[in-house]
Amino acid sequence: MMYFKTISELEQAEGFPPPEHPLISLNILEGSPVIQKNIEFTCDFYCIGLKRIKSGELIYGKTKYDHDKGWMFFTKPNQALFARGLEYSEKGFVIRLHEDFLIGHPLFNEIKKYNFFDYEINEALHLSPREKEVMWSLYHKMETEYHNNPDEFSKSIILSHLDSMLKYAQRFYKRQFIDRKPLIGKTVTKYNEFLNIYFEKGDAVTKGLPTVNQMASQLNLSPKYLSDLLKQETGKTALELIHLHIISEAKNMLVAGEQSISEIAFKLGFENPPYFSRLFRKQVGMSPKEFMRMHPFGKNQILN
């Protein structure tokens, strides 16, 4: 796998002219192939692309870019990408941005808060015609400033437009979640089914607490995309839903009163019973022992 420390190194490999600034580049993607040969690489910079591929392959994470539906995607430093023989069905753009360009600007920290930089490529942002116009407008504003003679305002103006582009991406992703509500409903159902099966099979005993990564893998989604999707539909993140499921299981077992609190904790996948008690108190507002005393329905309640 190749490693590109600078933007100019990658763009030379792709056949682009040298960037006008070592820490940021903006390029229009036309219909002809840009990458003729296989190239698998990681790099030290962010990449924001709006493109629709006619042929070739573009892969990052474990998934392949959707030729028919993919529009806009976002990658962060040190993600592995694979590309081969890319040909675009219509004009697009790509922005590459080194983290050092953000130093001293609020976006240095803000960009890390956008979960879509951790989405898989099959979770690309699918833009409506109007949304594409918005993104192109912001790109052209950045491009105009990029090619002008730089002064003390250039960096701030470019990053202000980039900041707007990321905010619009966040808005458009939220719209995408809403538009796909039937699919989201199915995802929520499958998510809960996987959690039920996990505990019914006793996986918690052998594998420990279920994780968001495990659930996302079962659903062929990235953890961040899954969590954002569930948040949109249920108001809870993927981790919060796991905790709610665990507490529901715990309540049922505590009321039955057939096992001690420590035994219940281990059966639910906790290596440390005090951690179970802390999570239970946080979710329920009382300790497991207090909960058992309030629900004395078990035949032989064991408190410890």
Domain layout of the chain by residue ranges: 2-153, 182-294
Predicted confidence band at 245 (pLDDT cuts at 50, 70, 90)? Answer: very high
Neighbouring CB atoms inside 10 A of 28's CB total 11
Average pLDDT for 234-243: 90
What would the mean pLDDT of 238-250 be, rounded to a whole number?
92
pLDDT of residue 11: 86
How many other C-beta atoms lie within 10 A of the C-beta of residue 193? 11
Give 232's contacts (C-beta < 8 A, 6+ positions apart).
174, 177, 178, 184
pLDDT, tens only, 107-120: 999 998 998 888 87
pLDDT attached to residue 269: 93
Partners of residue 98 on adjacent β-strands: 45
For the segment 78-100, what is each residue's pLDDT rounded down to a tens digit? 877 777 766 666 788 999 999 99
Report how far apart, in Å, the C-alpha atoms of 108 and of each of 76, 79, 151, 159 are: 13, 18, 20, 10
End-to-end CA distance of the chain: 54
pLDDT of residue 157: 94
Task: Please state, in angstroms and rounded to a whole number, the distance separating the CA atoms of residues 158 and 155.
Answer: 5
The larger pLDDT score, comparing residue 241 to residue 86, is at 241
| pLDDT at position 123 | 79
Q: What is the pLDDT of residue 61?
A: 57
30 phi and psi angles, rounded to 5 deg: -100, -170
- pLDDT, position 33: 47
What pLDDT, on the 0 to 100 scale, is given for residue 100? 92
Do the Cβ atoms of 193 and 216 come closer than 8 Å? no
Query: Quick one: fold of 182-294?
Result: Arc Repressor Mutant, subunit A (1.10.10)
Average pLDDT of the residues in 272-284: 93
Per-residue pLDDT averaged across 52-57, rounded? 67
**Is the pLDDT assigned to residue 278 strictly greater than 90?**
yes
Nearest to 55 by CA among 33, 27, 82: 33
pLDDT at 296: 64
Contacts (Cβ under 8 Å, ≥6 apart) of 148: 154
Q: For residues 155 and 9, what is the distance between their CA atoms, to the nearest angstrom?
A: 22
- Residue recorded with tokens 């030729």: 67
Task: Look up the pTM and report it.
Answer: 0.70
**Whether the predicted pLDDT of 134 surpasses 90:** yes
Q: Of 62-66, 84-88, 144-148, where does the model show the most confidence?
A: 144-148
- Provide the pLDDT for residue 171: 94
User: Collapsing DSSP states into helix, strand and coil, what is residue 275?
Assistant: helix
Taking the C-alpha atoms of residue 95 and residue 103, their distance in angstroms, rounded to an integer, is 17
Q: Which residues pair with 84 in a beta bridge?
A: 57
- Distance (Å, rounded) from C-alpha 198 to C-alpha 98? 42
Q: Where are the beta strands (DSSP E) in the chain?
A: 2-4, 24-29, 39-43, 45-50, 53-60, 63-64, 72-75, 81-88, 92-98
Please count the other Cβ atoms lying within 10 Å of the Cβ belonging to residue 301: 17
Task: Please report, rounded to a whole number, the percentage of residues in the chain having pLDDT higher than 70.
Answer: 84
What tokens were used for 3?
A: 């490693």
Task: Say whether 173 sits in a helix, a strand or coil.
Answer: helix
Kindly calculate the radius of gyration of the chain based on its CA atoms and give it in whole angstroms. Answer: 24
Average pLDDT, integer, range 259-279? 92
Q: What is the pLDDT of residues 148-204, one digit of tens each?
A: 877 888 999 999 999 999 999 999 998 888 776 666 677 888 888 999 999 989 999
Mean pLDDT of the chain: 84
pLDDT recorded at residue 5: 87
Record the tokens describing residue 227, joined without a space: 């969590």
